[in-house]
Structure 1
Amino acid sequence: MRLLSLLLAAGLLAASSVFAADPVGTRTIELPAPARSATLQMMIWYPTGSAGTPVPPSRDKVFMETPALKDAPIAEGSFPLVLISHGSGGSIGNLDWLAIRLAAAGFIVAGPNHPGTTRGDSTPPDTTKLWQRSADLSDVLTALSADPAWAPHIDRKHVGALGFSLGGHTVMAVAGVRADREAYARYCDEEKTMADCVWFASGKVDLRGTDKHLFEQSNRDPRIRSVVAIDPSVVRAFTSESLRSIDIPVHIINIGRPETIPIAVRSDDIAAEIPGADYQTVDGAVHLSFLAECRPDAPDFLKSIGETDPICEDAPGKPRTRAEIHVQMAAMIEAAFLADFARKE
């Protein structure tokens, strides 16, 4: 938290704290996705200067939602844009806890549901198609930049990307990271109990059968100037050459103590290869602590449907609540983007 402490001391967070109560608008938009020859469902959160209609409670039996104002008009001015990418089997709506905090601090936050790796439609074969997810983020940026309703409000010199788990790989890819197919296959040969490898095995996926050209291509989007990756996956396949070639600020956050972070996402060695990268860990938490807070009866519901992932469990002994973990992580993420966007071009 050294960076956050410095920013607080300098007063750079005083006007845009994650604890601000400024109203936030939200909309759900369908947008073209040329890379998929289809459309994407995207959610966007943004500062708003006037009242709107509160988003009605969802029917989600697991996660709590964070209040926002549906279809409220966007506030006057232009704002930094943060693209956000959910994890495998997740959804963009379940990251509202973070998106709303960032929007209240003066960012526009937008992200798609990635078809084939979203809650309800996720499949092991689709999960190997990493290039589709990074193309989704680029398509979101292209669509918003061309939309007369949004383009005047986007500060195109200050565009960042934020991702969790598989979404962490997605944002690293748009920063310029490339993956090696054989390295990823060898990792799963050796680490069969890691969650991603178990997932592929459940669908009888042969990683060596994935399209090598597409899997290993560059998905760099030069319009993106800053990246925050939380527990990024696929790290064991990142190529050293591509890591050393990254030329934008990168912040990597691992959740948990170093000795408890699974090799599937542990990134201290990865960060060490990226010029100027910032690496931090979050103690008293686990990988799934990044998900939205669970409803009180969610554990019983999950048990009733046979869910085996510990979706609502945080660190053993519960040293902190998930809400407390979220406050810390939102502050770290906001501080990272503020510091990067304050730099002179």
Structure 2
Amino acid sequence: MAACGCRLLEVVDTVQKAMIPLALLYPAHGVETTEQFGPYSLAVAIDAAPVGGTFPLVVVSHGNAGTPWAYRELARHLVQHGYIVALPAHTGNTRHNNNRANTAANLANRPRHITLVIDAAYQQLKDHLKPDCVAVIGHSIGGYTALAVAGGKPWTGPYERKANPPQPVLVTPDYRVRALVLLAPATAWFRPGALRAVRVPVLMITGDQDVNTPVAHALNVLDGVADRAQVVHKVFAGAAHFSFMSKFPAEMTKPEFHPSQDPPGFDRADIQAGLFDDISAFLLRTVGTVAALPDNETV
């Protein structure tokens, strides 16, 4: 099996006047070591040589005040199944700096970040990526981000507009995006008809104990896209809003840190294998991958 290569870089957003931290994970030759990314650890081969072949790109969009490393185990799983994975941190809406939360600027920035990250990935690994073959995985407001970059037309909501009237959010669709995976998506920014231009296959996964984005958010997608038959909706019994993230390190797992908590009797580790298989099977159907990865050779 190929190693999980890792390149760390920063992407310039000239509109936001900010840098977007980005990790690219990819099938590689090399020796993996356990690396720390803040409080999170993952076995990767830093700056290792990519294996031969071309692979689809999967971009992961994290939730509000989040981090892409909360989806590290999913990312590694996808690399091992023949995908290159981009893990951007949405500057201004992360655990380190959340000063753009609940603003119209954040709603515009996030989809643009995805396009900039796709551009950067193709620049970095152009000989190893299938042309114009991208999927986006989005959790919570990351689900909003995925829908917006795939053609959704958002409007500001009550948090963003405050005393101002609703206004459209200007987003440029990226037609390289061919499939979406929505994990407990937040969709309140899409009015009726706003998702009609979303015409790509969608896998939507929700939990029946989610009080942050309850079933109305999922119905916005099912009722809003151009073709409901393009959406596969799976509900995990007992799962809440944060249950699709990797388990947090022990020092972060505490009752006051809600993302680390699951409903009584539910353990997110128990669903990870099934969740990952559902996602990789959907991606295989929609954006494809290589039949098999070569065995790893250190270089």
Q: Does TM-score exceed 0.5, indicating one fold?
A: yes
Q: Distance in 2 between matches of 1:96 and 1:66?
A: 7
1:270 is paired with a residue whose SS is helix
2:118 is paired with a residue whose SS is helix
Q: 1:47 is matched with which residue?
A: 27
The AA in structure 1 aligned to 2:83 is: F
Q: Distance in 1 between matches of 2:216 and 2:140?
A: 7
Which structure has the highest helix share of the two?
1
Task: Note the aligned Cα RMSD (angstroms).
Answer: 2.6
Q: Distance in 2 between matches of 1:326 and 1:26?
A: 22
**CA 1:265/1:170 → structure 2, altered by over 3 Å: closer, same or farther?**
farther
The AA in structure 2 aligned to 1:144 is: A
Q: Distance in 1 between matches of 2:201 and 2:233?
A: 11
Unaligned runs of 5+ in 2: 290-299
User: 1:252-291 residue pairs with structure 2 within 5 A?
Assistant: 252-256=204-208, 262-263=213-214, 266-274=217-225, 275=227, 276-291=230-245
**CA 1:104/1:130 → structure 2, altered by over 3 Å: closer, same or farther?**
same
1:163 is displaced (CA, Å) by 0.8
The AA in structure 1 aligned to 2:94 is: T
2:41 is paired with a residue whose SS is coil
1:116 is displaced (CA, Å) by 0.9
For residue 144 of structure 1, the aligned residue among 121, 129, 136 is 121
Q: Distance in 2 between matches of 1:142 and 1:326?
A: 30
Quote the sequence identity (%).
Answer: 25
1:25 is displaced (CA, Å) by 1.0
Residue 248 (structure 1) aligned with residue 200 (structure 2): yes
Q: 2:248 is matched with which residue?
A: 294
1:105 is displaced (CA, Å) by 0.4
Q: 1:180-201: per-residue Cα shift (whole Å, max 9, x none)?
A: 33xx32xxxxxxxxxxxxxx5x
Q: 2:173 is matched with which residue?
A: 220
Unaligned runs of 5+ in 1: 1-20, 186-199
1:122 is paired with a residue whose SS is coil
Q: Distance in 2 between matches of 1:170 and 1:269?
A: 15
For residue 71 of structure 1, the aligned residue among 38, 47, 58 is 47
TM-score, with structure 1 as normaliser: 0.75
Q: 1:311 is matched with which residue?
A: 259
Q: 1:169-189: per-residue Cα shift (whole Å, max 9, x none)?
A: 1001011111233xx32xxxx
Which structure has the highest strand share of the two?
2
The AA in structure 1 aligned to 2:140 is: S
TM-score, with structure 2 as normaliser: 0.85
For residue 111 of structure 2, the aligned residue among 104, 123, 134 is 134
**CA 1:329/1:208 → structure 2, altered by over 3 Å: closer, same or farther?**
farther
**CA 1:73/1:157 → structure 2, altered by over 3 Å: closer, same or farther?**
same
